[in-house]
Structure 1
């Protein structure tokens, strides 16, 4: 137990008493094929909904076969190839303004069709930009390319007025600028508490199963154990969150 975890649990208790459960969803990036780490994630989540952001150019039938029968798992389009097209002094971007928007959108459309052919209804019209970065000109063309929703990182809106639902991730469990492993649990619980108090439509947890160390797995396991059956938290799945964003009265 940590003070921040205790405070987060108290927040859930208060939400349960008020009938306002915290809406949670998990987005795990960079899936391409079956691995022991993916199996560990699937086992950890159990029957809870999980969204895998899959890199279309790098994936094939093996992953689709591996996920067969797992009704709680959905698949999102994670760019096309997760290739950086930015310059050497820029932040990494695949979907930036470095290429014509029409070129980028053609790749994304091909990626969506590829995942749909592999995964059927499991594949959602949801785009997850690699590195969570995307040019406004690309966003403007997403509806025409067949996408209904966009997921980046943080509470800010990027697709306002574009007819897209936004279902962002907010809590990244990986320390990318330091150990490149799991962030300290106390820091994560403290951040989760702050996010819960923002009354977001849904709090998105971001993971990357391929780089998880013991700390990352331990936090995710603790979060799931704490919230899976708590009346102050719900895991409706991203498809339902998207539907709610598209029709708030639903």
Structure 2
């Protein structure tokens, strides 16, 4: 066992011993249709007793809308909830800027209409499994859009990194992204991930969000996720539903 993994285990165990176990929640992005990787993720999380939040793209710019096939696949998965992952996951960023669908230069009424449509579509398909939770593609959102989310039916927002309060919304961010997006799109350095988890557990924060993307996982990522599950089980980490965390911003 690496020193960094030992540090993470000790940090979780200390929280548990102090009666303040770290709450862990799991968000997986870019779901649209059933797939073999999704099946693997569903089985992994179900066996671990880990609630899963799938960020679903309502109307992908490069393919058909999400539909009944995904809803039917999730009908026997009571540990899964779905969130609105933008509208089309199409990049509207200005040239040279970081990828962003909900970009500041886009017409505000258009973005609001699309997000309302996305929420309505997922609620129609998934019923109570669909949460009024917005997950902006690429974890970026125009600041001018934020004040309108609550009146457009959203109760919570999830991006990546430190939480910035937004009136009327619960903020439930992720902090632990397992993918090295700029270095081959495989697993980030495992020791760096364990150090991050140790730091987050030791920070006193109530919960930590794990971020995955099932469609691009390789063997190293799947293996690491099994290791995270094992470490949490052995050291007092508690998997929580994002629905519960939304009620306690």
Task: Give the SS at the match of 2:248.
Answer: helix
More deviation, 204-213/181-190: 181-190
Aligned to 1:67, which of 74, 82, 106?
Answer: 74
TM-superposed deviation, 1:228: 3.5
Partner of 1:54: 56
TM-score by length of 2: 0.94
TM-superposed deviation, 1:200: 2.1
Q: Any conservation in 1 of the 2:176–2:196 contact (CA below 8 Å)?
A: yes
Counterparts of residues 205-216 of structure 1 (less than 5 Å): 205-216=210-221
Q: Any conservation in 2 of the 1:185–1:215 contact (CA below 8 Å)?
A: no
Q: Any conservation in 1 of the 2:132–2:155 contact (CA below 8 Å)?
A: yes
TM-superposed deviation, 1:184: 2.0
Task: Give the SS at the match of 2:94.
Answer: coil
Cα distance change, pair 229–3 in 1 and its aligned pair in 2 (3 A) = closer
Aligned to 2:120, which of 113, 122, 126?
Answer: 113
Task: Give the SS at the match of 2:247.
Answer: helix
Structure 1 runs of 4+ aligned residues shifted over 2 Å read none
Query: What root-mean-square deviation, in Å, do the aligned CA atoms of Structure 1 and Structure 2 show?
Result: 1.1
Cα distance change, pair 161–50 in 1 and its aligned pair in 2 (3 A) = closer
TM-score by length of 1: 0.94
What whole-Å deviation, never above 9, does each CA across 1:43-77 have from its counterpart, x for those lacking one?
11113200000001131111000000211100000
Partner of 1:9: 9
Partner of 1:199: 204
Partner of 2:174: 169
What whole-Å deviation, never above 9, does each CA across 1:183-230 have from its counterpart, x for those lacking one?
121111111111112222310010000011111111111111221364
Partner of 1:241: 245
Q: Any conservation in 2 of the 1:184–1:215 contact (CA below 8 Å)?
A: no
Aligned to 1:185, which of 181, 186, 190?
Answer: 190
Partner of 1:81: 88
What whole-Å deviation, never above 9, does each CA across 1:151-194 have from its counterpart, x for those lacking one?
0000131xx24210000000000000111111121111111111
Q: Any conservation in 1 of the 2:163–2:171 contact (CA below 8 Å)?
A: no
**Structure 2: any 5+ residue segments left out of the alignment?**
60-64
Cα distance change, pair 229–109 in 1 and its aligned pair in 2 (3 A) = farther
**Structure 1 residue 134 corresponds to structure 2 residue 141:** yes
Partner of 1:92: 99
Partner of 1:44: 44
Task: Give the SS at the match of 2:191.
Answer: helix
What whole-Å deviation, never above 9, does each CA across 1:78-135 have from its counterpart, x for those lacking one?
0000001112211111111121212101100000000000000000000000000001
